Amino acid sequence: MTSPRIVVIGSGIAGASVAFGLAARSAAVTLIDDAMSGQATAAGAGIIAPWVSSSDGAYYETYAAGGAFYPELLSRLSASGITDVGYRRTGAIVVDRDPSRLAEAAVLVRERAAAAGAVAGEVTELDPTRLRRACPPIDPEMSGLLITGGGRVDGRMLRDGLLTAAAGSGAELVRDSVVGLTASGGSSWSVATASARVDCDAVVVAAGARSPEILGRLGHRVAIAGQRGQLIHLSLPGANTGTWPTVHPLGHHYITPFDSGRIVIGATREDGTGFDVRPTAAGLRQVLDDALAIAPGLAEATVLETRVGIRPMSQRDNRLPFAGRITDASGLWLASGFGAGGLTMGPLIGDAIARDILGEPAPEIAALQP
C-alpha cells in the first residue's frame, strides 16, 4: 500500500503543525498557502502560559494540554534541525493594582500550576519592588503573581520552523490560491490552484478565519467567525528584554517582551470587522492606552511596527476549536477555531490530526470531537 497523499490548505500554525506531523511520519504532503494577509499566526504575540488565562472548562483543558506539549514540540523540531523558534521560558506575571484581587486570582493559578506540574513551574507573589525588578517599566503601584513556567514564542519563526522541518521531510510547499476543491468519489479529492492541480486522498482545511468560506463551497457550515486583533511592536534599546516575563493584567491586554529590546503590546478583540486587516486609529489608541496604563515606563519606547491578524473564533458555547474529521464527508479534515490560543494549542492539535489521518492512535483531546 502506498503512502496517502494529503493536501493541507493554510500555512498558519494549524496547517504548519499538521504538515509537520504528517511529513515527519513519511506521508506525502502538499501544503498550499493562499498568501492572504491577516494571518493570526503572523500577528500573534506568542504567549505560552495557559495557566494564567481567563479561560475555563474544556477549553482550558485543551489550552493547558497545548502548553504541556511544548517541550516535546521543541525537541522534535530540534531533531529536524530547527533549533531556534524564538521560544523562551521567561515566566508570566499577572498584575493588578489591588493585591486582594490578585490574591483571588492566585487561588486558581496555583491550583492549575499544581495540576500541570513541572511545565508550569513555581507560583510566587511579587510585591511592587520585585515586580519592577522583573519588568522595570511596570507601574510602581502594581503587584504581581509570577508563574515561572510561562514562556513566549515568535509565531512567525515557529511557523517557518515547522514548514522548514516539513519540507526537510519531503513536504511540498506551494504558494498559490486554492481555486477549486472537488470530491472525486470515495475518499479522493482534487485540489486546483491558479496554476496547478493536485489529486489526493485527504484534505485538511486549516485556513483560519477563512475556513468557513472554503467549507461553505462544499456545503459544510462551521461556526467560526473572524475577530480582529491589533498589536504594536515597541523597542527599548539597551534593555535586556530577552529575560523579562510576559505581563498580564486581569483582562485581555498584555505585554510580551522578546530579545534585543523588542516588546509586543496588544491586543484588540474586535468582532464583526470581516477581513479588514488595516490598523485603525481607535485600535492603536486602545492598545497604547492599555499598555501605558500598566507600564508607564514604556512611554518613551520606540514604535517599530503594527500588526493585525484575524483570529478564527469558535462560536460554540464552550469556545472549543473545530479540529477533526468532518463527519459527513470522506477524507476531509478541519483544524481551525483556536481563537487567541492558536500558538499554544495549534502544535498539539495539528499533531493529533496528523496521527488520526494516518490511522495512528491519537490522544483524546476535547477539541477533536467534531
| Binding positions for its own copies, 8-37, rule CB under 8 A | 34-37
Distance of CA 154 to the CA centre of its chain: 10
How far are the Cα atoms of 52, 53, 188, 300 from residue 60, in angstroms, in the given order? Answer: 10, 8, 36, 36
Subset of 298-357 contacting its own copies (CB under 8 A): 298-303, 306
Subset of 228-247 contacting its own copies (CB under 8 A): 232, 234-235, 237-240, 242-243
Subset of 202-231 contacting its own copies (CB under 8 A): 209-210, 212-213, 216-217, 225-226
Please return the burial class of 297, using the count of CB atoms within 10 Å of its CB with bins 0-12, 13-18 and 19+: middle
Supply the minimum distance, in Å, between the C-beta of residue 151 and its own copies: 15
Contact 234, 265 (CB under 8 A): yes
Name which position in 56, 98, 111, 289 contacts its own copies (CB under 8 A): 289
Please return the burial class of 228, using the count of CB atoms within 10 Å of its CB with bins 0-12, 13-18 and 19+: buried
Contact 323, 339 (CB under 8 A): no
Q: Which cell numbers hold the place of 122?
A: 513555581
79 sits near its own copies (criterion: CB under 8 A): no
Cβ neighbours of residue 191 closer than 8 Å, sequence gap 6 or more: 7, 9, 30, 32, 178, 180, 181, 182, 197, 198, 199, 200, 203
Q: Which cell numbers hold the place of 136?
A: 522595570
84 sits near its own copies (criterion: CB under 8 A): yes
Subset of 121-180 contacting its own copies (CB under 8 A): 156-157, 160-161, 163-168, 171, 173-177, 179-180
Supply the minimum distance, in Å, between the C-beta of residue 137 and its own copies: 10
Supply the minimum distance, in Å, between the C-beta of residue 221 and its own copies: 11
Q: Which of 199, 360 has the CB closer to its own copies?
A: 199
Q: Which of 2, 83 has the CB closer to its own copies?
A: 83
Supply the minimum distance, in Å, between the C-beta of residue 368 and its own copies: 25
Q: How many residues bind its own copies (CB under 8 A)?
A: 75
* Helix or strand holding residue 299 (H, E): none
Q: Which of 53, 80 has the CB closer to its own copies?
A: 80
Q: Give the binding range for its own copies (CB under 8 A) out of 247-255, 273-281, 316-324, 344-352.
A: 273-281
Name which position in 195, 317, 328, 359 contacts its own copies (CB under 8 A): 195
282 sits near its own copies (criterion: CB under 8 A): yes
Identify which of 266, 273, 325, 268 has the alpha carbon closest to the alpha carbon of residue 298: 266
Q: Which cell numbers hold the place of 175?
A: 504558494
Supply the minimum distance, in Å, between the C-beta of residue 113 and its own copies: 25
Residue 22 φ/ψ, nearest 5 degrees: -75, -50
